[in-house]
Amino acid sequence: MKDPYKILGISKNASDDEIKKAYRKLARTYHPDLNPGNKQAEVKFKEINEAYQILSDKQKKAQYDQFGNVGEGDFSGYKNTGFGNFGSGSFRYTSGQGTFDVNDILGDIFGGAAGRTHFGNFSGYSDGTAKGSDLIYTMDLSFKDAVLGKIVAISIGGKNLKIKIPPGIKDGDVIKVKGKGNQGPGGRGDLKIRVNVVSDEHFAIKNKKLYTKIDVPLDTALFGGYAVVDTIDDKVSIKIPQGTSGGKLFRIKGKGIVDKSGKRGDLYAEIRITIPKLSSHQIKKLKEIIK
């Protein structure tokens, strides 16, 4: 039996909340809907779920912690209707704590009732009310469009759709468009768009704020002056006060990320002081000044 702690990447002292958080993160990464046709992801996804089914149940967890297994090959209490080998159906586990349904957890991760949608290669499941399968779409997005947001037109499944890209979206984020998937007995599935943001070496998004760095000559930092900052849109000039130190942040209003209300946020520029190449005579004079 593989170590469930290692599979989820957590310590044996992890709390219930830490176990759940680790599971959610990995389940989202390896979920078959986001890795269509990837057999390795399917195997990893199965391992993640088996590990969580052990560690989320106190009795199973205690048994594993004491004996290093939970009746390998048995897993009594599990009702497998096909999920284990990625066939049709769902996967449920019954214990003294009630019934755990992996679809409930994954529904939370993807923002809907996952048990009623198409799980990667899970085929054949139908209870008469099942929605159609989800459509998966990958989109490349420029860094500027990720910062400012954009309405993009895509063609998928024979349909032309306009999708709103929210400002400040990060690389790897998934946008879900409800009811734009394939048709099923209980309605349409969803469209899930994974966004690949093209990185920009001059900018970074942290905590929904936009950052950049600017090089300032040593004499400007010492005596004051002006510096030119490249923003997402254009170039702006900012005043550098006398005695500015490296690492200082300058806020440039209206050049950051657009918020939910449509208002443009600010850009934060970090100062990097550039040291010029000095002659021996200049170095001597500088030492005299500093002393």
The string of pLDDT tens digits covering residues 173-225 is 999 988 888 888 788 888 899 999 988 889 988 888 899 999 999 999 989 99
Amino acid at 227: A
The tokens 């490249």 sit on which residue? 230
Number of other CB atoms surrounding residue 105 within 10 Å: 17
Nearest to 86 by CA among 128, 129, 49: 49
- Give the model confidence (pLDDT) of 3-41 as tens digits: 999 999 999 899 988 998 899 889 888 887 777 778 888
Q: What does residue 204 show for φ and ψ, rounded to 5 degrees?
A: -150, 145
Beta strand spans in the chain (E): 78-80, 91-95, 98-101, 135-141, 150-156, 159-165, 174-177, 183-184, 187-188, 191-197, 203-206, 209-217, 225-230, 235-240, 249-252, 267-274
Model pLDDT, residue 71: 57
179: DSSP letter: T
- Give the model confidence (pLDDT) of 42-95 as tens digits: 889 889 988 998 998 888 888 888 877 775 444 333 333 333 333 333 334 333
181: DSSP letter: S
Question: What's the CA gap between 45 and 86, in Å, rounded?
Answer: 10
Model pLDDT, residue 86: 36
CATH architecture of 4-116: Orthogonal Bundle (1.10)
Q: Is the pTM of the predicted complex or chain greater than 0.85?
A: no
What value, to the nearest 5°, has the Cα angle with vertex 131 and ends 120 and 45?
25
Q: How confident is the model at residue 123 (pLDDT cuts 50, 70, 90)?
A: very low
Nearest to 257 by CA among 161, 165, 168, 174: 168
Model pLDDT, residue 134: 85
CATH architecture of 135-197: Sandwich (2.60)
Model pLDDT, residue 103: 47
Task: Provide the residue count of the chain.
Answer: 291
CATH architecture of 203-290: Sandwich (2.60)
Number of other CB atoms surrounding residue 68 within 10 Å: 10
Question: What's the CA gap between 110 and 112, in Å, rounded?
Answer: 6
Highest mean pLDDT among 3-7, 104-108, 123-127: 3-7
Question: What's the CA gap between 157 and 127, in Å, rounded?
Answer: 25
Query: What stretch(es) of the chain map to CATH 2.60.260.20?
Result: 135-197, 203-290
The answer to whether 140 and 196 have CB atoms below 8 angstroms apart is yes
Question: What's the CA gap between 256 and 79, in Å, rounded?
Answer: 51
Question: What's the CA gap between 131 and 183, in Å, rounded?
Answer: 7
